[in-house]
Amino acid sequence: MKKVRVRFAPSPTGPLHIGGVRTALYNYLFAKQNGGDFILRIEDTDQTRFVPGAEAYIIEAFQWLGLKFDEGVGIGGQYGPYRQSERKPMYKQYADYLLENGWAYYAFDTAADLDAKRKEAEAQKKTFQYDATTRDGMCNSLSLSVEDVKARLESGAPYVVRFKYPADLDITVHDLIRGDVTINSNLLDDKVLYKSDGMPTYHLANIVDDHTMEVSHVIRGEEWLPSAPLHVMLYKAFGWEAPQFAHLPLLLKPDGNGKLSKRDGDRLGFPVFPLQWTDPKSGDVSSGYRESGYLPEAVINMLALLGWNPGTEQEIMDLDTLVKLFSIDSISKSGAKFNLEKARWFNHQYIQMASDDRLLPMFAAELAKHGVQTDDGYLKRIIALMKERVHFIPEFWEQTSYFFVAPEEYDPQAVKKRWKPGTAAHLREMMALVESIKPFDKAKADELVMDYVHQHELNMGAIMNSYRIALVGAAKGPGIFEIIDAIGVGETARRVERAIAVIEP
């Protein structure tokens, strides 16, 4: 059996869309499951849309995600080069082959001519199609005399090469996800394969590269399904065995319908790109999963389940598990809406599963943003205590700031509800009890303070929350004695006095 080789072939026209990441992921899972190769090919045949930095961005994004390519741009391999712009010289011969064998023809129509034709058709509520019925009326090597064509070519007149569909032919694409999709060639447009700038279009380059790189399976987005018949025909024209096709359902925006776009992310407050991206032209910044505090495994897991599932009730799966369980057969046929809440849940799960050591540098960076530096031992202790409360890395600060800096303000609502007349005196008494324990022991402190609360018949909720307000500034956080244990008795005493001074002057 043929070796499994799949490719992810983005166009470097900007940051990598999260839908593209999912396509890459599915390619990766399929390749690894079958002991195959996962290739990165850059499809930069459109020089006008090239964006500097996009290629580097793509490579960095996959590094962050932990999806490793076996071959391709940035890695190398025996089938290179892997950038289509660098393969430019080889495409011409394939276009020529098609020309010589009657599968293609030269077309000299100008953009203005084509535009006029389209407008004309539009006026009649039709669509202009360059096909068997209209070719003769256009300016090409089929309608022009041999001499004329020759003269034009020799004079260096600009031309494109178009595919020549046989008339009235049913073309069937076998898709691994959708089954057979058949379309008649009369409905198809004679696509441009080779552009006047000497570059192939996607269609030609794609087929030539997939074949020469021995790609066995083409797993790509559903937006390619309409052009798959062309690709099938191209393989046939070249006499090559076509790879297997699988067209993935689209990733939809969370509200309404339609493809998930950059603007949806901005509008709904979630990233559409793996990494933050700054547009080199406009300077616009688009948020990334990494910068928003997602763990790459969470992104992978969430993405894997958007359009596929193992058929069991298991939802938390690392890459290795996904590789084992993945199956093209069980990919959904319909588009999946991105769901921010579920993404948040996944990330929370993975943060809880992450080791404290791994979280340490990430959380330290968050503290640094707020001008806090601390020793690793203390930070690790706080991480162990608090990580189950954070859904995204940046939340760490708002959840734990009081472990590092004393509260400046006290939540007025909490104060109003919990702080009663006489609270200050009780807090001082309780503080004295806590200070009497040497060395400090949280269980002992708990015991003494509880005894005090019971003896004085205090309202537990009120007094303990007042204590908490003094230490934290709000009615939140882990157990009071955990906090005291962490920040120290001396700091606790200072915070209590400061709170009393501010709240009950």
Partner RNA sequence: GGCGCAUUCGUCUAGCUGGUCAAGGACAUCAGAUUCUCAUUCUGAAGAUCAAGGGUUCGAAUCCCUUAUGCGCUACCA
- Angstrom CA distances, 367 to 93, 347, 386, 401, stand at 59, 20, 14, 8
User: Does 202 participate in binding RNA (rule CB under 7 A)?
Assistant: yes
299, 292, 290, 286: which is closest to 14 by C-alpha? 286
Least separation in angstroms between residue 307's CB and RNA is 4
User: Does 78 participate in binding RNA (rule CB under 7 A)?
Assistant: no
Q: Which one of 58, 248, 305, 489 is in contact with RNA (CB under 7 A)? A: 305
Catalytic member of 92, 195, 259, 262: 262
Least separation in angstroms between residue 483's CB and RNA is 8
Element (H, E) at 435: helix 423-436
Element (H, E) at 248: strand 244-248
Least separation in angstroms between residue 383's CB and RNA is 14
Up-side HSE of residue 265: CA atoms within 13 Å toward CB? 20
Q: Cβ of 100: how many Cβ atoms within 10 Å?
A: 9
Q: Which is nearer to RNA, 263 or 283 (CB)?
A: 263
Reported residue count of the chain is 505
Stretch of 211-219, 360-368, 426-434, 470-478 contacting RNA, by CB under 7 A: 470-478
Query: 185 near 168, Cβ under 8 Å?
Result: yes
Active site residue 262: yes
User: Does 330 participate in binding RNA (rule CB under 7 A)?
Assistant: yes
Q: Cβ of 1: how many Cβ atoms within 10 Å?
A: 5
**Rounded CA separation 137/190 (Å):** 14
Q: Which is nearer to RNA, 4 or 464 (CB)?
A: 464
Q: Which one of 152, 178, 236, 494 is in contact with RNA (CB under 7 A)? A: 178
Q: Which is nearer to RNA, 285 or 422 (CB)?
A: 422
**Sheet architecture: strand order including 104-107:** 104-107, 160-163, 192-194
Site for RNA in 7-36 (CB under 7 A): 9-11, 13
Q: Which is nearer to RNA, 21 or 35 (CB)?
A: 21
Three-state SS for 132? coil
Least separation in angstroms between residue 414's CB and RNA is 7
Q: Which is nearer to RNA, 329 or 376 (CB)?
A: 329
Q: Which one of 96, 284, 388, 429 is in contact with RNA (CB under 7 A)? A: 388
User: Does 50 participate in binding RNA (rule CB under 7 A)?
Assistant: no
Q: Which is nearer to RNA, 178 or 262 (CB)?
A: 178
User: Does 444 participate in binding RNA (rule CB under 7 A)?
Assistant: no
Query: 136 near 164, Cβ under 8 Å?
Result: no
List phi, psi (to 5°) of 221. Answer: -70, 155
Q: Which is nearer to RNA, 285 or 311 (CB)?
A: 311
Q: Which one of 24, 183, 218, 242 is in contact with RNA (CB under 7 A)? A: 183
Query: Crossing angle of helices 84-100/202-212, nearest 10°?
Result: 100
User: Does 476 participate in binding RNA (rule CB under 7 A)?
Assistant: yes
Cβ-Cβ contacts under 8 Å for 183 (sequence gap 6 or more)? 170, 171, 173, 229
Least separation in angstroms between residue 279's CB and RNA is 17
User: Does 3 participate in binding RNA (rule CB under 7 A)?
Assistant: no
The strand pair at 71-72 and 37-40 is best described as parallel
Site for RNA in 401-440 (CB under 7 A): none
User: Does 199 participate in binding RNA (rule CB under 7 A)?
Assistant: yes
Give the count of residues interacting with RNA (CB under 7 A).
85
User: Does 172 participate in binding RNA (rule CB under 7 A)?
Assistant: no
User: Does 119 participate in binding RNA (rule CB under 7 A)?
Assistant: no
User: Does 480 participate in binding RNA (rule CB under 7 A)?
Assistant: yes
User: Does 475 participate in binding RNA (rule CB under 7 A)?
Assistant: yes
Q: Which one of 56, 167, 169, 187 is in contact with RNA (CB under 7 A)? A: 187
Cβ-Cβ contacts under 8 Å for 416 (sequence gap 6 or more)? none
User: Does 110 participate in binding RNA (rule CB under 7 A)?
Assistant: yes
**Rounded CA separation 277/254 (Å):** 22
Q: Which one of 52, 76, 137, 226 is in contact with RNA (CB under 7 A)? A: 226
User: Does 370 participate in binding RNA (rule CB under 7 A)?
Assistant: no
Q: Which one of 389, 444, 494, 498 is in contact with RNA (CB under 7 A)? A: 389
List phi, psi (to 5°) of 93. Answer: -60, -30
Q: Which one of 460, 488, 490, 501 is in contact with RNA (CB under 7 A)? A: 460
User: Does 49 participate in binding RNA (rule CB under 7 A)?
Assistant: yes
Q: Which one of 96, 148, 223, 441 is in contact with RNA (CB under 7 A)? A: 223
Stretch of 85-93, 249-257, 354-362, 420-428 contacting RNA, by CB under 7 A: 249-257
Q: Which one of 4, 28, 43, 300 is in contact with RNA (CB under 7 A)? A: 43
Q: Cβ of 480: how many Cβ atoms within 10 Å?
A: 22
Cβ-Cβ contacts under 8 Å for 298 (sequence gap 6 or more)? 343, 346, 347, 349, 350, 351
Instruction: Output b/e per residue, 7-35; b: 16+ Cβ within 10 A.
Output: bbbbbbebbbbbbbbbbbbbbbbbbbbbe
Q: Which is nearer to RNA, 69 or 308 (CB)?
A: 308
The catalytic residues are 262
